Structure 1
């Protein structure tokens, strides 16, 4: 009896390890695969997405497949699969596409909740890159997503637990030493082969137009690759896809798979074509079709002329005076890939900013789109064009031109690859800015602000100085941007009351009361930026203790207690020049004096930063009740020197830093 039991146990342990999964589908029916979300069967093909926008779908082989030898948890199974797929776009514009699709091996049969469309229905923002995903995928991607470091918008990639591919290549195939690009989004039937040999630890991926011989050279070949940590003992295999702003069919027309052996060959000679074609079966239909085409062409020509005249608004006087270069809308549409979601760099109060590449010269640009429904949009647009059209300075963001399309407004800037200052300081995903870089950035901002206030032909008050409006180029040179709230007036003139404008936390107190924005209000905002750079925190942070929520009040309190250096950014780990850190903290407090006439001019601020003048003396500000309060800081100047504003400051020769 014990011998029989022993034999049964042996068979139970060893037989599953020898189990092999092998199947072939030359067409599909409703009961063939497990379908999730938006998938459906059409003409013998299984389509993962329907004709809707921003959806994802998934189909799986209904039974789990053994992908690990149960006798050895460190040994994954070899596998081989081949399938024919087609991606059929519904847009007639070849530059537009939905998102792509992927072959996947996953431990879960359920649909991924809240999957971003650029993640192909494989992952979502909460689990991307997580080793617990146990996900293997071969992506057939038709969108270039910068957040996952895609190489282009037509590529094949190997993904392990992440959408940042282990390796990716431009989609295509080899014949000898010649490479042929294959458009994944063409609607053509394309055959793919994926082969993994666990003994050789090698993965090969090959694609070619269906019906052509299988290329001898794989598109992707990865050696020394083990999937033991990826695969669990039982996994589900199948396909996943997603669509973006453009509806698209992602279909699989035939599929075969095998573990521990070659996938059965597919018969691709009788597969249907999913590309929609017009059929003409008689002379009458041909005549009618030709007539309809001619009529439609006439209507299209008339519509085109009307649209062109509508979009080409007459140039107004301010356009010719300030900035005559006007981009064609089509050029910006191509540059931003149709203003796609994955091209968005950021959003503001009046619209979004897109990354673009001008087709005329390949120049990287940022395109700001102002929402057409904004009643203030045109006013802000004119202000920004008027302010920036003729300004030329190393530390100001350069405007390349503009575009008007009916009531839609666009401004084209130089692209700043390092983004904005606030992201470089506050976002932990970015590289930490060293102190020397921060100090140089403050000098750059001061130089740009001085040009606006004193050195250009007119005085420009920016009215929205903040760290998110300080942009950094590839060499971390700072450029002051976003002049949507700027106002110009003569140097001898007086600023007019315009209402409270700006960003909470940066607005000078007198602006709240009077609505007038003068250069001294910009100096106040610049002082807040200095404190941000030195402290490494936002002006207002409700997550902190009550005494620390408002950065300015917190720094003032530390100064009153003789502990000013406690405000230095702890993330710097003490790696800074102490004299410079102290100077920036004190200068920030000086610039944030509640009395505008007591603040230094922009020129004085820049001279102090550059070491050409000493910092004024800080002392407690007397409140109306006569008591000292460090919630407001006054300044005094040790000696006089002429300045544009008629104020005084300590020079290096006559004063001493305090």
Structure 2
């Protein structure tokens, strides 16, 4: 028999907080007010306010010791009301606690609504929190305002100084993520009106601290010194995988998997930009709590679509996966060239790496999603194999290779006419490039070029890195990066010089500003190119990769400029600093979505 993948998935998206919503529970002084959470009144001292998500969140599974991975992104404001540092307190915290947790008595002030004098430091608390502490309590705090990670205690096990008084009234964005593989809890924060940012991390084994299920929420408190605490938005997602499956509550759960493939990243530079959305029936609430299973045989062998190959056939087709047949590495495994006698067809076989913690999940997702896609610019998935616990995917073989194999690989470099045609073809769907595999979920162990967001760092727009929200503008950014790769022959993710942090876009923009734009052109073309077209493509690339998403062109405008039906834009001589405009959604837009999208260099 073949394994099934059982999982719990919790997704929360709250761009605002409205009264009457049944997915958030308010405790103490907390209340919704004009789309935000007000944690305390400014007319009373020593107040505590808390909110919690109405459903419990699975943290770990006792039978397999599998632990959830989660990400929480929230925006908040703490306002000192113009007071001096000694006249305001105490702070705001995001926490995980046992189901049924209530506000402890006498927990105002520095206890942040989570502890009191009898529970100040005890393993029985079963609490993990990240605190934004605006007042230094001499009994347990460091001597400075700080952001801290706390485990079962009001004292932080790890903290970073936080000069909060500089950011009073400014909207702060915070990201908290936990990696189940590395057991790393990380925190980053930044501000809408400042370039300042901070980070903090600590290794924690949640199985030793929290119960199997917990509540997730926020708490804020004041003392005799008052400040205002507001939560403006909140997004949270967690996933807990299990090898065994227990049938319970399956009658109330619906799972639908959908895919969005925006035009702008359909075939970018041998990459496939997939925005994987977990969709469900529209509901008034802004969350979804799901339990489900992927039964591999049942899911893949219904109806038409990719056929199942035996492992024996694929071994024969690839000469036992010999090194001579290896085309490259990508995603979760290597890709091999093969030949199926029965079909009289050359194929490309992606072999999922053995021992990959995410291999089965990625394999299931990839087959389910890609098998439903038909597009001239996507490499077609024609089959699969999962014999004996091996996971393999079979694609149509691209005899000419993907675009990136000619730009960065050992294949003959493309001449200028082909490069310009490829860039334009990406936009109007006449080129044929491809990728072996759906983009991966990024983990820390995958290397320095990845982030907690799903995607290849060099192709991600700065606002997507900050907010996690993909858009047409972020797709245009990705095209701009690929346009620069086509012109320069350099990978966006490779540093321009050894030990340099300067990326491709910044480097080309600097040369543009100094009047030396064409010095960045790929030397392998031996200066055999149309200067007017080259300059046009590179400036369009910079325009598309503009740090301000509002100043990027539409795909239509890009095509018009590349066809010289529209003038080449004049860009600033210096690369602008990224700015962000938070989208304020109406109450009618509280639909739950998974906003991570992925972009991976094709192999």
Q: What band does the TM-score fall into relative to the shorter chain?
A: 0.3 to 0.5
Higher strand proportion:
2
Is the radius of gyration larger for structure 1 or structure 2? 1
- TM-score computed with the length of structure 2 as normaliser: 0.41
Task: Tell me which of the two structures has the higher relative contact order, counting C-alpha pairs closer than 8 angstroms and 6 or more residues apart.
Answer: 2
- TM-score computed with the length of structure 1 as normaliser: 0.38
